[in-house]
Structure 1
């Protein structure tokens, strides 16, 4: 709401964060389905919901991480290349929207296999139960496609964003250390926290995915090893899910400007509610809200929520 209702010119990072919020919200909406699935120990929602749930998760995973990579690049240009940043036409708002469009299109294309091959079917171990997972017709096709999916997920969900973030934030920290700014230490701490949270949340899950891809197709696997890998995947996947919930704190609410505009929108919504239930004083209340909003806009010359 804060990004959508903020009508002034946004920076590229603001546009990226707006799109990342959309991707995270889509993913969070699927969490109740997974909660029911784990609680009931079976999938009860059918094929269509299975395809949509796994497809949305795959889109969020690649889209969110790619947007984090572009955010780090934008911050690199704004801080390290500050004297040249005005010459970069790539930092225009129209270009950032084009980048987001390409990111969404790429994520949907990469995730298309989740929509095509995910389905609800009966799986028999000790007992028969319905599960929601990828399903292929032939064993060779299954091994090859699953390996490809895991490689794409690890590549776009970890390695590409990680390389961009390490490169960009390393030079950003060096530039901040040379700057004489009272907010320098706070900015460095925020960057270190962003990278640390990314590693803690994503490294365990991607290690499990890599081990799964390496062991896929081997005939000497035991049931005990399969159970261990299954439990490891559930635990590390839950930690990876946590990253989506931490993103708003790390990239939005930690910024003073974002918090101030968020509070302003909440106050404006309260004014609208007050106007609805108290028509007699609605005109005066509306004028007060408009006056406060105008004064806040005039006193803030920044064009970005980020610190």
Structure 2
């Protein structure tokens, strides 16, 4: 289920005295948060758009890796589309777009957020297969298989979030879920926590740990370890740690605040403001992935430089080498 739609609206209904909080005048905090929402939205759209253009123009989706990255960037970019609606409600303390728009925004928000998480999870498995035993898993890592898996992830995300997202309504002036009962809300939070965070986080951790252990074992067994294999292990380690840590830092506070909201009875406005920041943090995860690519992936560094410096032909053959030695790019790929 889409986290952002849980948080943002939820705090207005579950643990706030809604009328007193929503009646507050717009202050420095509100203006600051509106600016931060705008910055995250612009960075997320720009960064993910750059990734999409780089893949379509320079890579042509010639590997399973870039198929997954394309779908991840697409989901992250579309996830940003709902951010102005959330920011508007937080800033004005009122939903002005109507009940149907509330449901549509929440459904699209949920699909894109869950698809983003699931793509990143599948990528962790894909990276293990590519670097641990590329020949053995080659037939499972073709662009065609990756496209089928990606299509399934979008469909699965829709099925996962649709029943919950449709519970949102703007009746009463806020786009928030219509809570059936406290038990229903606790069940919803638990369900979204496990499907949208705990299980994906566990899969990523297991896959990346197994990958690092396999790479280290291969290097130790080698009679004369090659510098390239050592470089590969260092790059993979940095990217793995970055991906897992950033994912946990952006989403764990969100779920923690959601569960705390069930028992929050005092410090209402302080808690609500902190929760608003946590929502922004969860959205910021979707603009973190392009930054990780740019900082830690040699291939995407080349792609971005090629796109941003059109007159510079420093990377004339980068599109033929999209599976180099980093977390998202490995040596051999079947392009059938």
TM-score, scaled relative to structure 1:
0.76
* Closer/same/farther in 2, CA of residues 18 and 252 from structure 1, 3 Å limit: farther
Q: Offset at 1:43?
A: 1.3
Q: Name which of 91, 97, 100 aligns with 1:45.
A: 97
1:47-86 map, 5 Å = 47-86=99-138
Report if aligned partners of 1:17, 1:251 keep a CA contact under 8 Å in 2: no
1:162 has 2:212 as partner: no
Say which one has the larger Rg. 1
Alignment of 1:30-179 (within 5 A): 30-86=82-138, 89-122=139-172, 130-135=173-178, 141-143=180-182, 145-178=184-217, 179=219
Contact 1:66/1:156 (CA < 8 Å) preserved in 2? no
Q: List, as ranges, runs of 4+ consecutive aligned residues in structure 1 with deviation greater than 6 Å.
A: none
- The aligned counterpart of 2:240 is 191
Q: Secondary structure at the match of 2:174?
A: strand
1-structure distance, mates of 2:264, 2:278: 21
> Greater RCO between the two (CA within 8 Å, min separation 6)?
2
How far is 1:231 from its partner? 4.4
Distance change (3 Å), C-alpha of 1:251 and 1:146: farther
Deviation per residue, 1:133-176 (Å, 9 max, x gap): 1125xxxx444543343233212221111111111111122233
Q: Cα deviations across residues 52-100 of structure 1 (Å, max 9, x unaligned)?
A: 22222211221111111101000011112234233xx221111111111
Preserved CA contact (<8 Å) 1:69 1:161: yes
Q: In the superposition, relative to structure 1, how do residues 251 and 168 fare at CA in structure 2: closer, same or farther (>3 Å)? A: farther
- Segments of 5+ residues of structure 2 without an aligned counterpart are 1-52, 220-224, 330-336
Which secondary structure state, in structure 1, belongs to the residue aligned with residue 134 of structure 2? Answer: coil
Q: For each residue in 1:277-301, what CA deviation from the matched residue of structure 2 results, as whole angstroms up to 9, or x when unmatched? A: xxxxxxxxxxxx9xx69x923x764
Shift of the 97–253 alpha-carbon distance from structure 1 to 2, 3 Å rule, reads farther
SS in structure 1 at match of 2:133: coil
**C-alpha root-mean-square deviation of aligned residues, in Å?**
2.7
Equivalences, count: 264
